[in-house]
Amino acid sequence: MGMTVNNIAPGMVLTPFNQKAIDDPEFLEKEVQSIPLKRAADPREIARLAVFLASGDADYVTGATYVMDGGLMQMVGQGA
């Protein structure tokens, strides 16, 4: 089996990096308004993709970037 290289590009994820949002529900609500799904990701959602990409089920997947941002990048071209 050869080597595969892929990338996960997460948006806002509820981790210590975003502790201010976790600790302040009003701040979190304001921040997620620009995300089409209207919420931040749970770390387990990102982890499930990482597990898939590390598994044999992804042996033919390479050179891809997976944007996991709740649809935020779709809005960039629309002036969000």
User: Which pTM does this prediction carry?
Assistant: 0.82
- What span, in angstroms and rounded, lies between the C-alpha atoms of 44 and 14? 10
| Residue range of the domain that includes 53 | 7-75
Q: Is residue 32 part of a domain?
A: yes
Q: What is the pLDDT of residue 16?
A: 94
Distance of CA 15 to the CA centre of its chain: 12
Q: Is residue 69 part of a domain?
A: yes
Q: Largest alpha-carbon pair distance within the chain? A: 49
Q: Is residue 80 part of a domain?
A: no
Amino acid symbol at 54: A
Going residue by residue through the chain (80 aa), what tens digit of pLDDT does each one get? 689 999 999 999 999 998 988 899 999 999 999 999 999 999 999 999 999 999 999 999 999 999 999 999 887 666 55
Q: State the residue for tokens 């997976």.
A: 66
Q: What is the pLDDT of residue 77?
A: 64
Q: Is residue 23 part of a domain?
A: yes
Q: Is residue 56 part of a domain?
A: yes
14 contact partners, CB below 8 Å, separation of at least 6: 21, 22, 40, 41, 42, 43
**Local structure of 7: helix, strand or coil:** strand
